[in-house]
Amino acid sequence: MNVTSLCLCYLTRTSDTGPEVLLGLKKTGFGAGKIVGLGGHVEPGESPAQATVREVEEESGIRVDPTCLRELGVVTFRFPTRPAWDAVVSVFGADRFSGRAVESDEIIPEWFPFDDLPLTKMWDDARLWLPRVLAGEYVTAEISFAADCETVAEARFSEQAA
């Protein structure tokens, strides 16, 4: 069976008080109630970058030119008790984009300072790698969740560069 292909995008900006990243409260579907990065499924015929541009606009109204996307890593999620949820996530970032973040059917967007990320309200794995990608590190990771599908049981990082 093919593993689901997802994308995530961390838009960043510099405010008067320092660097910030755009996250958002997921209103519906997988991960509802958590604060997440913008993103979603890579549809058939799309590249991960094309899916990222589409998902960012659908979820926040912000437009990103594909040439402005930076590859930040690839994270594989494994759910041993729910293998249908297994996914490979292509992670991108961009600091050039147009428009202002607005609420959509899926997400209530919010900018967070790099030094005050809402990690306890995010997927449990985010604390392990989001600060690293925001610090400029390319991350290749495989995350296995415990039986509760919420808690990280094991996280393996490899040194593979972009």
Binding footprint of ligand LR5KHM72 on the chain (CB under 6 A): 6, 8, 29-31, 36, 39-41, 77, 87, 89, 106, 123, 125-126
Specify the residue, 95 or 142, whose C-beta has the smaller distance to ligand LR5KHM72.
Answer: 142
Euclidean distance between CA atoms 117 and 130, whole angstroms: 9
Using the minimum distance from each CB to ligand LR5KHM72, give the nearer residue, 57 or 125.
125
Distance of closest approach, residue 83 Cβ to ligand LR5KHM72, in angstroms? 14
Q: How far is the CB of 161 from ligand LR5KHM72 (least distance, A)?
A: 21
- Is the CB of 34 or the CB of 95 nearer to ligand LR5KHM72? 34
Least distance (Å) between residue 47 CB and ligand LR5KHM72:
15
Burial of residue 161 (CB within 10 Å: 0-12, 13-18, 19+) is exposed
Nearest residue (CB) to ligand LR5KHM72, 95 versus 125: 125
User: CB 130 → ligand LR5KHM72: shortest distance, Å?
Assistant: 8
Helix (H, G, I), strand (E, B) or coil at 127: helix
Q: Which is nearer to ligand LR5KHM72, 41 or 70 (CB)?
A: 41
- The CA distance from 141 to 77, in Å, is 9
Distance of alpha carbon 73 from the chain centroid: 10
Q: How far, in Å, CA of 153 to CA of 124, rounded?
A: 10
Q: Please, what is the minimum distance in Å from the beta carbon of residue 2 to ligand LR5KHM72?
A: 15
CB of 46 closer than 8 Å to CB of 54: yes
Cβ neighbours of residue 156 closer than 8 Å, sequence gap 6 or more: 141, 142
For residue 87, give the nearest of 76, 100, 102 by alpha carbon.
Answer: 76
